[in-house]
Amino acid sequence: MRSVLGTWLALVLLGGLTSAQGRPKTLDIYIVDTEGGKAALFVAPSGETVLVDSGNPGGRDTDRIMAAISDAGVTQIDYLITTHYHVDHVGGMEALASKIPIRHFLDHGPTVEEREQVAGFQQMYAGLYGKVSHTVVKAGDTVPVAGLDWRIVTAGGHAVKTALPGGGNPNPYCAEFKPRENSIDPENGQSVGSVIAYGKFRAIDLGDLLWNNEFDLMCPNNPIGQVDLYLVSHHGTDPSGSTALVHAIAPRVAIMQNGTRKGGTVQTYQTLRSAPRIEDIWQLHWSYNGGIEYNPAGVFIANVEDPQTIANVLTSESPQGGGRAGSPPGPPAGHGPGGGRDGHTGPAFLIKVSAQADGTFTVTNTRNDFSKSYR
């Protein structure tokens, strides 16, 4: 009897050990709520980390990024990629650097705008990267993160010329492309854009890359191919997100880093929902722009307004039609200084993605612990 019990216990322990050892390693992506800004933490299966952008100034976003870092169980940022130098993307960098080591800074080179959106930023930034390591990346470069294939596809207004694995076919959506006058905030067009692959899983993040730059990247041939996850460009605003990009990369899931009044425009929703293969849109905030017709179901939204606020948005009228027509009451948040600060005062929740090498990935809304797996 003692021998049988001993054998049973040994089998249970061995089974538990095997189960623990056999648990698949994941690429974890923490999409932090910066209320219309941007900060996304990538933690590779190797434990190496990449942070794309550092949110707004003022400490609020820094605390939220640090909370994600703590949740991930990491102690340093191996690579900080700054897509471009607008305040909602770089405003929190100095405060963040005072709280956690950053080993390597990557960017597209000097800003193309005369006025700094964060006063004294370039001087401060040079002081930070001068103490460690700094790379001005170009389209076609790679970021050497162990276990990932991280490709830079746009930088400094230029796009990759050589097709990535799975890319290179003619892009049929180029025929319907209509150029736009991208005269506002030219720094957006300099955005560092990345395609990240972990085994069969592929994600794309192009920062605030502008409409015409999307054509330069995607036409006449699509160098990217299809992706699983699209971190929606430019917070889901109209100066970005052409069908030449979105329909060609054909994401299964889109995650929008929007604010209540910034992003989530009708055009963005229409383009996403008509894209081939799209299954779900997730977003950081319930969008005033989207109203009742375009916002996804609440389980896919990390931060929602209280019912009375939503009711006021939906029933208000403005010369453009108010919330009923998809335009938010009052002026929308801008894309320059202060852009993205929507005044949301509730607790901040993030969206987490965990991807496996076989291409399966799970998206989780930390507000309600709702998760959905895409196999």
- The alpha helices in 114-239, defined as continuous H runs, are 121-129, 211-218
Measured CA to CA, the distance from residue 311 to residue 192 in angstroms comes to 39
Contacts 24+ apart (CB under 8 A), 325-330: 325/291, 326/265, 326/266, 326/289, 326/290, 326/291, 326/293, 326/294, 327/289, 328/260, 328/261, 328/288, 328/289, 329/288, 330/261
pLDDT tens figures, 85-128: 999 999 999 999 999 999 999 999 999 999 999 999 999 999 99
SS3 of 273, please? helix
Can you give the residue ranges of every domain in the chain? 25-374
State the pLDDT at residue 64: 98
Closest CA to 71 of 41, 96, 99, 91: 41
Token representation of residue 131: 């103490």
Yes or no: domain 25-374 corresponds to CATH 3.30.70.20? no
Q: How far apart are CA 223 and CA 180, in angstroms?
A: 22
Question: How many Cβ atoms from other residues are within 10 Å of residue 312's Cβ?
Answer: 15
Widest distance between CA atoms in the chain: 84
Element (H, E) at 201: strand 201-205
Q: What pLDDT is attached to residue 308?
A: 79
pLDDT of residue 9: 41
pTM value? 0.88
Distance of alpha carbon 367 from alpha carbon 5, whole angstroms = 45
What are the average pLDDT values for consecutive 10-residue runs of the chain, which has 375 residues? 41 38 82 98 98 98 98 98 98 98 98 95 98 98 98 98 96 96 85 98 98 98 98 97 98 98 97 98 96 96 85 63 36 37 68 98 98 97
pLDDT in tens, 311-324: 787 777 543 333 33
Q: Tell me, what's the pLDDT at 344?
A: 53
Strand partners, 293: none
* Alpha-carbon torsion (296, 297, 303, 309), positive or negative: positive
